[in-house]
Amino acid sequence: MNSEVNQNVTPETTGRFIVTFREGAHKDALSVLADSTGVAESKMLKSDDFGASGLDVERVPADGGAVLDTLGIAVVNIDPSAAGSLAMTAGEDSAILAVEPEGVMYALGEPSPMSLDYLRGFRDAAQSLYASASEGPAGEDLLDVEAAFVDTATLTWGLQATKVATSRYSGQGINVAVLDTGFFLAHPDFVGRQIEPTSFIAGVASANDGHGHGTHCIGTACGPLHPALGPRYGIAHKATIFVGKVLTDQGRGVDGDVLAGIDWAVRNKCHVISMSLGANVATTSVAYETAGQRALDAGCMIVAAAGNNAQRSAGQFSFVSRPANSRSFMAVGALDSGLRIADFSARDTVRQPGTAVDIAGPGVAVYSSWSMPTRYRTISGTSMATPHVAGIAALWAQASGARGAALWQRLIANTRGLSLPTSDVGWGLTQAP
């Protein structure tokens, strides 16, 4: 049976609440918060007090919360009745815009076995066709160039398809933040690179990546021009890398830590934030929508994975998941090496403002860096497509000087058009300058 939308799951929550302040109303919002919930300002840890180092989540009081001053968002420990009282005061005419339960986020892992079998079959077929075309008689058009992308000894297929391989830009002078499971800080391909790591996981002091997902994403977005082994897999090879560990080594995190990572990245004047994480929830979040807009206003663009919750081969197209379903986040769909939509890549089926897929990137059989001892790994997901877009955004930021919303427009105006529905790929395949 054809299923247009997978059932929206009940959001997984932590018991804390996310409170979004109206722009410029921090003081009044804290006063309303205290009056409605009894949580005094003295019980609220402030990110302003930590400067460029970011909020120390370890010190957030259990009977209070934290204020992310750059974003104008608070994370509070209050019971549901107090949250309900506070929500009664929220609205456009109030100092508080919204009160939402804090949710749980996950690294967007590889798709289901059924999807993987489909992808492997397509990969093998595409490579066979490529080989046949390469051996064909001169002048005989056996294969459209769009189906000819394969990894070579020097370049991954994604860098070829997005024209990174021929771009003269490097991301120099651009700050790129990747909020994920961290980064394997001793990776030999990144010796000498400027890396700014911070952990937002309570009880975990280091941003080192014991999972691998974050290291893979950073490798695609900002990996080296000449890796120690194998083909080039990285895009913005001279960008400054800001590593925000917002997910544990098990690939799990919470909204408050993710938002703290965004607050830190914006405070540090990052030009691009890459987020290959999400929750399988179709409803949008005021907190993420507001965070994304305030980031854009500060000259920072957030790129996020649309989600791996589809199974197109079974007739299921699902929906763009949170937080990519915010209007202020650039949602990224995944393509395979034939520039076809990946079986697992989410479609915009909810059709509410902000839930669209905005752009597409290479997301099937993507080779990049990984945590030791593996060092490198090839995996699939919209998680892999997202850092392609983020790295290319860094190149455009360097090439054009565009920031925030202007950088967003630059990216979508320079995509490669595809013969696919906009609900799948948005404006098309991202392209380097």
Cβ contacts of 252 within 8 Å, gap of 6 or more: 104, 105, 106, 107
Strand partners for 303: 274, 330
Q: Which of 47, 115, 167, 180 is catalytic?
A: 180
Confirm whether 213 is a catalytic residue.
yes
Q: What are phi and psi of 101, to 5 degrees?
A: -65, 140
383 part of the active site: yes
Provide the 8-state DSSP code for 155: B
Which of 231, 209, 262 lies closest to 159, judged by CA? 231
User: C-alpha distances in angstroms, 232 versus 318, 404, 432?
Assistant: 33, 28, 15
CA angle, 299 then 56 then 86, to 5°: 80
Record the tokens describing residue 347, joined without a space: 């479609």
Active-site residue flag, 180: yes
Residue of 337, 383, 388, 423 marked catalytic: 383
- With the CA atoms of 178, 184, 190 and 194 taken in that order, what torsion angle do they form, in degrees rounded to the nearest 10? 50
Q: What count of other Cβ atoms lies within 10 Å of the Cβ of residue 124?
A: 10
Set 26, 187, 213, 216: catalytic member: 213
Query: What is the set of active-site residues?
Result: 180, 213, 383
